[in-house]
Each structure stands twice: as structure tokens, then as C-alpha cells.
Amino acid sequence: MSGKVYLVGGGCGDYDLITLRGKAVIERSDAVVYDALIDERLLGFAPEGAELICAGKRAGKHSASQEKINSLLIRLASAGKNVVRLKGGDPFVFGRGGEEAEALAEAGIPFEFVPGISSCIAAPELAGIPVTHRGLARSFHVITAHTSDGMPDLTPYAALDGTLIFLMGLGSIAELADQMISSGRHKDTPAAVISRGGTSRQQTVRGTLADIAQRAEGLEAPAVIAVGDTAALELYSPKVQPLSGVTVALTGTADFSQRLGEMLRRLGAQTVTAARLDVREKETALPDLEKYSRLVLTSPVGVRILLERLSNEHIDLRRLSHLKPAAVGRATARALEAAGLYAELVPESFTSAALAEELVRQVSGSERVLILRAEKGSGQLTDILSANGVAFDDFALYDTEAETVVKNVVSDYIVFASAFSAESFFVSGGRLSDSTTAVCIGEVTAAALRDRTGGRLIVAEESTAEGIVDIILKEEDK
């Protein structure tokens, strides 16, 4: 029995610009064939075990021909799989979705389209440039500035009224502007380039056809070029939010970076991932829970893995009824509450040391504590318990592996959520500019940083994502 192919537009830029329908289709997929320009956080919506296949398809850097992609979609669907063909923007806006649909129809494979938000509208909009505007532009026209034979003849488009939107033209913007002028557009016609629209790295430059190529030097593809009177508009206040214009580099697990990044972006900040901590679950079975009276969890990741492990090992949650849960902070406590478990102990200061000191005060001599956390967890917790004679077992639920993504960080701030992430960043060759302030989640992380760099650093008053946001807001308010 044949499966089905969903030709899905992933939207312009960050993963949260996908439609609800697009997200739902990914969540029930058996395979996702994705393009280079999508935000890879979208792949996190795919169910465990789904095939994730990069098809490349970036101008000048194709990793697979269109014919091979068509064949791949047919093969996967013929094997009975529900396949998501995930594209940046919209499948029908220079996305070759029509070609793939034709191939699927010829092979007798059922398919469905899920529209996406195209960069031709979204990128200018996010830069404060409307593609239509009363009195300035009654229409807009979307034009590719790149074909297999190079730049097409743009003469017919120069005479069009309204806003001209060029896609895939950054590499030949000088020729594009020259063609527009030689074809009759005045050299003082407003023009704008929006680079990496819809992402935390979005940059916009404005000018005219006479100087836009020079102004756009150094911008990154993908980029959208707008030509016409509306390109001179800037329909937003440059400081409408407290962190507008502030750039923050993030390090840590995907869960933490995503949560913190969303909080910062809601306040106007631009974020970029500088380093990732990949979580690798340990294969060892859980210890005998009957031996313990206290259960200590130090992160939402640990809570998630514990609950998954209990489910996989068919252990009823009622088996935990004799355990008194303790959480290092609010985020961990909230993760427990979502499963109907309530932490009896959350220290006022959200640190491993504070949690250990509270346990020392509360645990009796006959009790034994089970700590479930990362393999490279803070030594403060176990050191304090050992020094005070508290019986415990420190069980590694998962390990973390660091990958530095941006080695030369030039943002306003970089956030380090653990001593391990700080040490790993510098060990792998990461460097901070003199203007970048390091934000540490706690004193242990700050100590690890002081050993690595003499640059400026600040420490969150509360060891949470909220505490990090608060300290950045205070810095910007000085």
C-alpha cells in the first residue's frame, strides 16, 4: 500500500513561523526530506524513529539533483511511508513544488500541499517594508534573479508599477541594479536588501539603485531584494522593545536554548546558537527505587528522561509514591508537576549547593537519596552530601556532548548555562570579542569562565532562564 507525500512550506526563517498544519504533518511523519534553508529545529517535531534526509537544494550547492529528490520521494512513499517534503518558504514560490507534484502524480503517489509563509512577503514585512501600500504601490511582483543560465534579462520588469521583489539575487546585486537603471528605473529609486529574513540574524540595509550593491557588501544569503518606493519605508520603531538591537549568543541544550531564546526574542533581542549540548541518554536500567526515600532531579531534561524510562520499563508512577522528590529549581519542579509529581523540596537559591545543604538538614540517618542527573553534573551536590554523611547514589541518566557552532562570537552577550558548556566552548577553540559580555547562570559557571577568559562577565541573581533575562535587562537599563 502506498504512503503519501506532503509538500510542506516551512515558512520564512525561524521554526516558529511554520503553520499549525505544517507542524501537525511533521509530527505524524515517517520520513522528512528537507532543504538546506529550513530551520533544523523543525526536525524536532518529527516523531522518534522518523527518517531525516537532507536534500540540500541551495543555489550553487545542490547536494541532490531534482530528479534524485523526485525518485527519493516516490521510493519512500511506495514503501508505505508518510513523507514530508519540507521546503523553506512556500513550495510554489521558486520551490519546485510543482515539479515534484508532477513526478508524484505520474508515479501514482498521493500528495497534498501545505502552504508556507514565503520570504517574498515575510522578509520585507519583518524589516518594516510593506510590499503594497496605499499611494505608493498597488501591486508587487516576485522575480527570480537566478536561473541555471545566470541572471535573466530584467528589462521587462523595470517598467512594472509597484514593488519589485527579487529572490536569489544577492550574489549579482550589482548587475541587477545596473539592469534596472539601464532599463529605465531612476538611479534614485529606493532599494533594500533583507538578509536571513525571519531569523535572529536578520539584517537590513536600505539605499537606492545607485548604491545598494555597495551597501549590501558583507550580507549573507539567503536575501530578499526590494525595489520601489516602499523600500524606503521603515514601519517600526527601532527601540520598541527593551532588547531591540541587542544580540545574544546561546549555549546549552536544545531545550534550554529554545526556551531562553524565545524569552529573549519576545523582548526584541536577536539570538544565535554559539554552542550546542547534545543530550545522549544512558542505556543502563534504573536502580531499584524501593531502596530510596528521596529522589533528586536537577534539570527538566532529567525529568523528561526519567518519565520516558519509567514508561519504557513499564514502571507505574505509583511506584514513586514513597519517594520525596526534590528539584534544584522552578523549571525542574514545573517539569515534575506536568506529570503529576510535586517536589517537596525546592531550595530558595536554585543551585546544587543550596539543594545539598537543604538535604543535609532534612534527611535522617536511615534515609538514602537517589540523584538522577547528567554524568557531568556539579560536584558541589555530592561533595556536600558526602561531607555530611548523607547516604546517596549518583545515577547518570544521560550524558552531554558539546559542539561549538560559532567560534568567534561578536554578539553583545553570550550565555553560559553550565560550567561544562563554558569549558567546552573554549576547549573547542571558541573566542569572545572584547565587546561581548559573558552571562553566567551561577557562580560555579562564572568560576569556570574566569579560568578561561579575562573578559567581562556578569552572574544571574537567580539560576534560571528568567534570571538570565533579568540580568541582561538590568545591564541594558544602565
Nearest alpha carbon to residue 418 among 305, 344, 328, 348: 328
The whole-number pLDDT of residue 308 equals 86
**pLDDT surpasses 60 at 57:** no
Please name the amino acid found at residue 402.
Answer: A
What's the pTM? Answer: 0.62
Query: Residues 453-477: what's their mean pLDDT?
Result: 88
* C-alpha dihedral (74, 75, 77, 81), degrees to nearest 10: -160
Most confident range, picked from 85-99, 192-206, 233-247:
85-99
pLDDT band per the 50, 70, 90 thresholds, residue 423? confident
- Comparing 31 with 364, the larger pLDDT belongs to 31
* Residues belonging to the chain: 478
Query: Residues 381-406: what's their mean pLDDT?
Result: 87
Q: Return the beta strands (E) in 388-454 as ranges.
A: 391-404, 408-409, 413-416, 431-432, 437-440
257 Cβ neighbours under 8 A, 6+ residues apart: 250, 251, 273, 276
Q: Using CA atoms, how far apart are residues 458 and 97, in angstroms rounded to an integer?
A: 49
The CATH architecture to which 238-478 belongs is: 3-Layer(aba) Sandwich (3.40)
Query: Residues 187-199: what's their mean pLDDT?
Result: 92
Query: Residues 170-198: what's their mean pLDDT?
Result: 92
Contact (Cβ atoms closer than 8 angstroms) between residue 99 and residue 170: no
Cis peptide before 347, with omega less than 30 degrees from 0? no
Contact (Cβ atoms closer than 8 angstroms) between residue 348 and residue 358: no
281 Cβ neighbours under 8 A, 6+ residues apart: 305, 397, 398
| CB burial readout 43-71, b (16+ within 10 A) else e | bebbeeebeebebebebeeeebeeeebbe
The superfamily CATH assigns to domain 121-232 is Tetrapyrrole methylase, C-terminal domain (3.30.950.10)
Neighbours of 368 (CB within 10 A): 13
Mean pLDDT of all residues in the chain?
A: 88
Q: What angle do CA 454, 460, 465 make, to 5 degrees?
A: 120
Q: Using CA atoms, how far apart are residues 424 and 403, in angstroms rounded to an integer?
A: 8
Contact (Cβ atoms closer than 8 angstroms) between residue 208 and residue 188: yes
The whole-number pLDDT of residue 405 equals 73
260 Cβ neighbours under 8 A, 6+ residues apart: 250, 252, 415, 417, 465, 468, 469
368 Cβ neighbours under 8 A, 6+ residues apart: 291, 292, 293, 294, 391, 392, 393
The whole-number pLDDT of residue 238 equals 55
Contact (Cβ atoms closer than 8 angstroms) between residue 239 and residue 267: no
Contact (Cβ atoms closer than 8 angstroms) between residue 152 and residue 177: no
Tell me the angle at which helices 254-266 and 300-312 cross, rounded to the nearest 10 degrees.
130
Burial of 288 (0-12, 13-18, 19+ CB in 10 A): exposed
pLDDT band per the 50, 70, 90 thresholds, residue 237? low
Contact (Cβ atoms closer than 8 angstroms) between residue 10 and residue 116: yes
Tell me the CATH number of domain 4-116, given options 3.30.43.10, 3.40.1010.10, 3.40.50.300, 3.40.640.10.
3.40.1010.10
Domains 4-116 and 238-478 share a fold: no
DSSP assignment, residue 405? S
| Inter-CA distances, 74 with 1, 22, 83, Å | 13, 20, 9
Q: Which three cell numbers stand for residue 399?
A: 550524558
Residues known to be catalytic: 35, 57, 168
The whole-number pLDDT of residue 74 equals 94
In the chain, domain spans = 4-116, 121-232, 238-478
The whole-number pLDDT of residue 63 equals 60
